[in-house]
């Protein structure tokens, strides 16, 4: 078994470090509403695409920076429909606040990728928070996939899609941590099968609100997409009882395992393993448990967030360990320590 440790406070001057909004000032961003995004509120849709709060998305809409099918939306709560073309256009007179926010975020973390391991058939990389794993319908120019492609041009034909060369799995934009990228089609299929067979092990560092009732637990709530476009989950009910018919949570099976690593006054640091790969699984499961992830703008409980608490400007969700079977049949394990911004945030908490 091999083990690699890496610090993530260095930088690579060959990669751009400006935030996405700063890089695209004065340029349009086009988003196409897909089937799984229908019935979503416009402000929620934009908050996900732009990685901002719903309040900030509403400001963009109210300011006139957003159009749906070349028309101004009536309100932030308008429901998007499949095929809608949503354009986000920053205006010169209003760029100050965006640039200030981007500058503050740059001070919190840098967005440099790091190569953790370079094998014949795969590469393990560190994805920083603030960087998309691969492009979306907006065709973003700067993603983890595009940066890796510059380093390994031969992977362009690897995978199921040219937009996701070599990409076998992903991390949320505002999460950080380890990903494995296939360098050959044979390796891609080999890794993909392991994900399907649940042979790949992934562990995360996650800081959540509240104190856990137990030091170790399993969350097996099914996960589905809600009417507002977000993923939803809730505790299971006794399906044999007639009174619970309306409480049954539809969706796909999902299993999350956690261990308490450290308890603070208002928060808990967890080690988390996901035994399935549902969209936003950790965030949705923790939210359903009443312990939303710190820094989550989408799955949050305003009642437990204090105005006085320090803002993180990202998710406290870090993929710290990744283990899989290589092409030689050997299990390999890679490890990546907490990035500096998360370690510093922990140091500010009161035990």
Annotated catalytic residues are 172
Q: Which of 4, 2, 3, 6 is nearest to 114 (CA)?
A: 6
Q: What are phi and psi of 314, to 5 degrees?
A: -170, 175
- Which token pair is 72? 């101004």
Kindly give the residue spans of alpha helices, DSSP state H, lying in the chain. Answer: 20-23, 42-50, 54-63, 95-108, 144-151, 185-196, 281-288, 340-347
CA 123, 128, 133, 135 torsion: positive or negative?
Answer: negative
Residue 136, exposed/middle/buried by CB under 10 A (0-12, 13-18, 19+)? middle
Q: Which of 206, 130, 229, 109 is nearest to 173 (CA)?
A: 130
Helix (H, G, I), strand (E, B) or coil at 187: helix
- Which token pair is 277? 């790969």
- Which token pair is 164? 């996701």
Neighbours of 160 (CB within 10 A): 13
- Identify the residue whose tokens are 């009642």: 303
- SS3 for 130-173 is CCCCCCCCCCCCCCHHHHHHHHCHHHHHCCCCCCCCCECCCCCC
Beta pairing partners, 259: 216, 271
Name the helix (H) or strand (E) containing 34: none
DSSP-derived secondary structure for 58-102: HHHHHHT-EEETTB--S-TTPBP-TT-EEEEE--GGGHHHHHHHH
* Cα gap 322→112, rounded to integer Å: 19
């Amino acid at each position: 078994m091999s083990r690699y440790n890496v610090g993530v406070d260095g930088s690579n001057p060959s990669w751009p470090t400006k935030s996405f909004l700063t890089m695209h000032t004065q340029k349009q961003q086009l988003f196409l509403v897909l089937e799984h995004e229908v019935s979503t509120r416009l402000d929620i849709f934009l908050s996900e695409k732009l990685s901002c709060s719903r309040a900030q998305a509403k400001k963009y809409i109210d300011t006139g920076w957003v159009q749906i099918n070349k028309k101004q939306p009536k309100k932030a709560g308008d429901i998007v429909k499949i095929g809608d073309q949503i354009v986000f256009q920053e205006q010169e007179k209003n760029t100050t606040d965006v640039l200030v926010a981007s500058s503050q975020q740059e001070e919190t973390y840098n967005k440099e990728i790091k190569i953790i391991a370079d094998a014949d058939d795969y590469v393990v990389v560190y994805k920083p928070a603030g960087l998309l794993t691969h492009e979306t319908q907006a065709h973003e120019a700067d993603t983890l996939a595009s940066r890796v492609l510059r380093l390994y041009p031969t992977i362009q034909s690897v995978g199921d899609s040219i937009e996701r060369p070599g990409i076998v799995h992903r991390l949320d934009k505002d999460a950080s941590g380890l990903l494995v990228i296939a360098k050959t089609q044979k390796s891609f299929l080999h890794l993909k099968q392991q994900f399907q067979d649940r042979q790949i092990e992934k562990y995360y560092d996650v800081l959540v609100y509240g104190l856990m009732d137990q030091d170790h637990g399993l969350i097996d709530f099914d996960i589905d997409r809600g009417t507002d476009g977000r993923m939803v989950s809730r505790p299971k009910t006794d399906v044999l009882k007639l009174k619970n018919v309306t409480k049954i949570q539809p969706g796909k099976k999902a299993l999350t395992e956690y261990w308490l690593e450290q308890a603070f006054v208002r928060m808990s640091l967890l080690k988390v393993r996901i035994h399935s790969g549902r969209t936003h699984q950790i965030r949705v499961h923790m939210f359903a448990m009443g312990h939303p992830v710190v820094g989550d703008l989408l799955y949050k409980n305003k009642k437990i967030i204090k105005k006085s608490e320090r803002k993180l400007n990202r998710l406290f969700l870090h993929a710290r360990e990744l283990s899989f079977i290589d092409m030689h049949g050997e299990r390999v394990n890679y490890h990546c320590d907490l990035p500096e911004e998360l370690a510093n945030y922990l140091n500010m908490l009161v035990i």
